[in-house]
Amino acid sequence: MPDWIIIILKSITLIIILFTFTKLLGSKQISHMNIFDYITGIVLGGIVAVHTIDPNLNLLYGIIAMFIWFIVPFAVEWGSLKSKAFRNFTEGKSTVFIQDGKIMEDNLKKEGFTTDDLLEKLRDKDIFLTSDVEFALLEPNGAISVLPKRENRPLTAKDLGIKLAPTKEPQTVIMDGKVMHESLANLNLNLKWLETELAKLNVSIENVFMGQADNDGALYVDLYDDKIAVPEPTEKPLLLATMKKCQADLELFALSTENQTAKDMYEQNSKKLQVAIDKIETYLT
């Protein structure tokens, strides 16, 4: 058999095996890696490369070597889940760099970080003054987590005492012109609702590249034709505007009538409607 055919067959075989082993090791292997993950990834890739380009090497030896480098990390991951001490040994522990606004110089030296390295990491977090940092630590994967001082953190709705409506994850209900029935079911919606919403926009499912719906039942679509503009959903603003108009009309009726009974009724219902508006306005804006 020609060498080039052997290389092709060995490459395909090793790629399939490497893909399988990587999937079994989990997504952690391809996300933020610790030292052990880093070494394992390099060695597995090296084994595949060597046995791919040299047709004279025994493929079985390569598979055995890959299996060993698969089973050892797999066992290490299992041991890490069972023991905190073992996990600290294999993955390392976080190191505090800044605590209570004070730089821990000894910890910087211990991890081989210079002041410039620390400042660079802080700039990556859009922080240019160490005095703005309350707490910072080096994670085992090399990233730095930073907690700014309270006065330097962005304001949140909780800080302002504003109550926000609960939200769920938006779902993609149309993808490449096809309906995603499971996503519709996750939002307690159905195909009839989707067809109705698309009819309001005057578009068909086949013309929609992607459609997403939120937990309020608002549909957002992107069409294949980029020249066609699709209006944003207006149901919630329209409902709020209608309620405010009704409340204003009740006040107007109360002012325009001379019948005291009717006036009291209009004023009472106007106040009730205003209370309802105050309660749900957050959900409709």
Residue 268 lies in a domain: yes
Residues 229 and 257 in one domain: no
Quote the pLDDT of residue 1.
67
Residues 117 and 58 in one domain: no
> Which residue ranges of the chain lie beneath pLDDT 50?
27-31
Strand segments (E) across the chain: 95-99, 102-103, 133-138, 144-148, 171-175, 178-179, 208-213, 219-223
Residues 227 and 240 in one domain: no
Residue 164 lies in a domain: no
Domain hosting residue 45, numbered range? 3-89
Residue 158 lies in a domain: no
Tell me, what CATH number does 127's domain have?
3.30.240.20
CA nearest neighbour of 53 among 107, 14, 27: 14
Residue 162 lies in a domain: no
Residues 183 and 244 in one domain: no
Quote the pLDDT of residue 44.
75
Residues 104 and 74 in one domain: no
223 bridge partner residues:
208
Residue 107 lies in a domain: yes
Q: Is 161 left (phi over 0), alpha (psi -120 to 50) or beta?
A: left
Residue 66 lies in a domain: yes
Taking the C-alpha atoms of residue 99 and residue 210, their distance in angstroms, rounded to an integer, is 47
Quote the pLDDT of residue 231.
64
C-beta separation of 220 from 212 below 8 A = yes
Please report, as a single letter, which amino acid is at residue 50.
Answer: V
The tally of domains found in the chain comes to 4
Residue 163 lies in a domain: no
Residues 81 and 101 in one domain: no
Tell me the C-alpha to C-alpha distance, in Å, between residue 240 and each of 127, 188, 217, 235: 41, 23, 16, 9
- Tokens representing 59? 């493929």
DSSP codes joined into one string, 84-117: HHHHHHHH---EEEEETTEE-HHHHHHTT--HHH
Quote the pLDDT of residue 136.
93
Residue 52 lies in a domain: yes
pLDDT tens per residue across span 123-146:
999 999 888 999 999 887 778 899
